[in-house]
Structure 1
Amino acid sequence: MNTPQQKIIFISLTDAPNGAENVLFMMAKAVNGEMVFLKKQRFSGLKVSENITKRYLSRKSIFWGFVKLVPLLRNYKRGDIVMSTHPYLNAFLGFLKRMGYVRSKLIVRECTSVFTRFTGMKKRIYSLIYRMGYPGVNLVVCQTALMKQQLLEHNAFLAKMNVLVQPNPVDINHIISQSVKPLVNGDAKLDFICSAGRLIPEKGFPILIEAFKMIKQDHPQLKLLLLGEGKERGQLTTMIAANNLTDSVFLKGQIDNPAPYFKQAKLCVVSSIKEGFPNVLLEMMSVNSAVVSTLCAGGIADIPAIAKVEVNNAKALAAAMHQTLNNKTNSDTAIAQQYLYNRRPEIFAQSILSALN
């Protein structure tokens, strides 16, 4: 999609295999772009295709990545495009562009609604860095209309800028191809419910465990597998033991390829409390017709063929899980696939570049 004279560069803090990084990777593939990572993960980094030009600026720290990024940015010309998706990095690039140091066009994507997610000093710091950096941005991309509304409410100066609502992409074909790979460590023999994400408060895993306990009596054979790693592992382990669920709920840690779990699960669940938008929901829908999600982000209410419940409500989540398990049907599969087809990375990339121009 880019010309030989034009470079499109995607800059990320790390190559961690999270939602924001995956979005940049999908767009890089769609436009034959380049990827720059400020820091390389020691373990389980994003699996970047060999045909994608990639550069890792540091193996020690993100700070040194920022230091090494500064001279690199001078290599990009006025016709080039730089895109990033982390607030601190977005603001840093925007500030350098305001100063005239960055000459290329700059696109930034909002990975979460920081002004509703954080409070106090942290929120004030974000307000400051947005005010310093975002006036230099050419295009701001929001995942949902709600995210755009929240962004403009807290940053009135952005109303004069180009702010685009562009739903996250999903590479259906890639997920389907990855989903046929076998599960290991005996997991293929289990009947299980699956959820995935970092073990952090925003993901709502305590609510999911509570809901799972409520339906356990009616589904005694089922296990709950949580894919991901994070700072709440200790608290979740304690909660699982306190509820006598050590034989039923398993923290699987970081899984490089979660697609086979999504495919083979009796049910996939997103239990988040607040998200920019949970990309994992789209991945689950790509290979499984039994999906339940909380209304943790704008746009979820409009998604067809999934069960939806309010956030922070274990009883409602348990009821939706129980009903979906008992009424699993493929009647809405075609509708779901058409919805996902309209969110292909090629459409995502073309919409953003068209808005930039």
Structure 2
Amino acid sequence: MKNILVVVPDDRLGGAEQYLKNISYYHLEAKNKVYVVFLKRQMSGQWMDLKDLGDVKFYYSNSATELSGIGSTILNVLKIKSITFDYIYTSHLHTTSFVGFLIRFGLVKKKYFIGRESTTIFHRFKGKQLFIFKMLYRLGYPSLDLLINQTQVMRDQLIEGLPWIERKTKLVVIPNPINLRAIQNIPVPKHLVHPREFIVSAGRLIPEKGYDILIDSFKEISKEYPELDLVILGEGHKRPELEEQIRSLGLQNKVILKGHVDNVYAYFKQAKLCVVSSRVEGFPNVLLQMMSQNNRVVSTKCAGGIDELSGIICVKTDDEEAIRLGVKNVLENDLNKNQIVFSQQLEERSLESFQSKLQEFLICE
């Protein structure tokens, strides 16, 4: 039995957090012991189902913010200081830096420390904020044994922004995994999740997700397809602005900001089509989730590798007309063949395949 440490900002499931939960799922099925440390107090309970799989322990801080939770997180780490972890996993810049710092000072012992880049900071940030992030890389990333990049584009951008990093840790490209078995076990609701035909998108309500562009595009889409609504799943600080935009366009009864939902897969399955409208992503995990449920998927080219996925209708970013034409393309063509195409591509991204590639890189280290 191996000891596994997973460090997460909080227990709400964004893309990076879902990746770490999937890693935990894999190791619990392999009968390993998993320790999950959260930098915040319990907020959603979305990890609790892991207790049904095996030996997992959760350590929450006593704070609502990550910064103020550092003290209690260190105390939680001291509770497991005697354990040498076979694998440590992180997927956020600040948690990777934090754990790397603790390793350097002997507060955490490990065999392998595996980080994953969750976004391309050099396209999203600049000025003082980017300077701070670069310092965080310097602080903790030299402790890594392996740094996973979701795409070759992400790896190239990281090396361009931090030329020193190749000398300090091994950089590899492994596409995001998807937990197909867990998805198959999600109950299918017997009721309709929305009373009318709808397009669905999902993610945090932040500028990077491009929902303002999607809503503008939907104004035109709804003229041609008046039977369709737009349902957006997720929560975030841009909600007031998006609500105002919806009101100004007269779409109050057509665009629904649903907020957080427990079962996004039911919406993906019942939707007329699924849309990823992001301006920039590391790689959108939600795209894989959509592919697992629906043959009709439109995505902006918000990350490297999206246009390499067969069956996806790819469109330009920051372009409402491109989204409109992509949606029209999907609605007017028979895409049933995508069921087979999508299934084959998702199998190649299974958790087992991901872990196999990870082990190959570690062995070659």
Alignment of 1:1-357 (within 5 A): 4=1, 6-32=2-28, 33=32, 34=34, 35-43=36-44, 45-50=46-51, 51-52=53-54, 53-61=56-64, 62=66, 63=69, 64-72=71-79, 74-77=81-84, 80-104=86-110, 105-160=112-167, 161-178=169-186, 180-183=188-191, 187-357=193-363
SS at match of 1:55: strand
Partner Cα separation in structure 1 for residue 185 and residue 328 of structure 2: 29
Partner Cα separation in structure 2 for residue 15 and residue 287 of structure 1: 24
Give the TM-score taking structure 1 as reference length. 0.93
Residues 253-276 of structure 1 deviation map (CA, whole Å, 9 limit, x = unaligned): 101111010000001000000111
Does structure 2 conserve the Cα–Cα contact (< 8 Å) formed by 1:176 and 1:286? no
Partner Cα separation in structure 1 for residue 122 and residue 50 of structure 2: 34
SS at match of 1:80: strand
Question: For the structure 1 residues 205 and 326, does the alpha-carbon distance in structure 2 shift closer, same or farther, using more than 3 Å as the test?
Answer: same
Partner Cα separation in structure 2 for residue 31 and residue 176 of structure 1: 18
Question: For the structure 1 residues 76 and 116, does the alpha-carbon distance in structure 2 shift closer, same or farther, using more than 3 Å as the test?
Answer: farther
What is the alpha-carbon root mean square deviation over aligned residues? 1.8
Question: For the structure 1 residues 294 and 127, does the alpha-carbon distance in structure 2 shift closer, same or farther, using more than 3 Å as the test?
Answer: same
Q: CA deviation at 1:356?
A: 2.2
Question: For the structure 1 residues 179 and 263, does the alpha-carbon distance in structure 2 shift closer, same or farther, using more than 3 Å as the test?
Answer: farther
Does structure 2 conserve the Cα–Cα contact (< 8 Å) formed by 1:179 and 1:262? no
**Stretch moving more, 57-66 or 298-307:** 57-66
Tell me which amino acid in the other structure corresponds to 2:217.
A
Q: CA deviation at 1:192?
A: 0.4
**Stretch moving more, 231-240 or 32-41:** 32-41
Unaligned runs of 5+ in 2: none
Tell me which amino acid in the other structure corresponds to 1:113.
T
Question: For the structure 1 residues 65 and 326, does the alpha-carbon distance in structure 2 shift closer, same or farther, using more than 3 Å as the test?
Answer: farther
Does structure 2 conserve the Cα–Cα contact (< 8 Å) formed by 1:289 and 1:328? no
Tell me which amino acid in the other structure corresponds to 2:263.
N
SS at match of 2:73: helix
Question: For the structure 1 residues 106 and 202, does the alpha-carbon distance in structure 2 shift closer, same or farther, using more than 3 Å as the test?
Answer: same
Partner Cα separation in structure 2 for residue 21 and residue 48 of structure 1: 15
Give the TM-score taking structure 2 as reference length. 0.91
Tell me which amino acid in the other structure corresponds to 1:165.
V
Residues 276-322 of structure 1 deviation map (CA, whole Å, 9 limit, x = unaligned): 11100000000100000000011101011110001000001101001
Question: For the structure 1 residues 179 and 151, does the alpha-carbon distance in structure 2 shift closer, same or farther, using more than 3 Å as the test?
Answer: farther
Partner Cα separation in structure 1 for residue 221 and residue 96 of structure 2: 43
SS at match of 2:157: helix
Q: CA deviation at 1:47?
A: 4.5
Does structure 1 conserve the Cα–Cα contact (< 8 Å) formed by 2:147 and 2:171? yes
Partner Cα separation in structure 2 for residue 183 and residue 225 of structure 1: 17
Q: CA deviation at 1:237?
A: 0.4
SS at match of 1:247: coil
Does structure 2 conserve the Cα–Cα contact (< 8 Å) formed by 1:182 and 1:188? no
Does structure 1 conserve the Cα–Cα contact (< 8 Å) formed by 2:10 and 2:43? no
Q: CA deviation at 1:172?
A: 2.5
Share of identical aligned residues, percent? 37
Q: CA deviation at 1:179?
A: 6.2
Q: CA deviation at 1:154?
A: 1.3
Does structure 1 conserve the Cα–Cα contact (< 8 Å) formed by 2:42 and 2:60? no
SS at match of 1:287: coil
Q: CA deviation at 1:110?
A: 0.8
SS at match of 2:223: coil
Q: CA deviation at 1:250?
A: 0.5
Partner Cα separation in structure 2 for residue 268 and residue 65 of structure 1: 41
Question: For the structure 1 residues 152 and 345, does the alpha-carbon distance in structure 2 shift closer, same or farther, using more than 3 Å as the test?
Answer: same
Partner Cα separation in structure 1 for residue 213 and residue 231 of structure 2: 14
Question: For the structure 1 residues 319 and 134, does the alpha-carbon distance in structure 2 shift closer, same or farther, using more than 3 Å as the test?
Answer: same
Runs of 4+ in 1 over 3 A off after TM superposition: 43-48
Question: For the structure 1 residues 354 and 290, does the alpha-carbon distance in structure 2 shift closer, same or farther, using more than 3 Å as the test?
Answer: same
Paired residues, number: 350
Q: CA deviation at 1:75?
A: 2.5
Q: CA deviation at 1:73?
A: 5.1
Q: CA deviation at 1:232?
A: 0.6
Question: For the structure 1 residues 43 and 133, does the alpha-carbon distance in structure 2 shift closer, same or farther, using more than 3 Å as the test?
Answer: closer
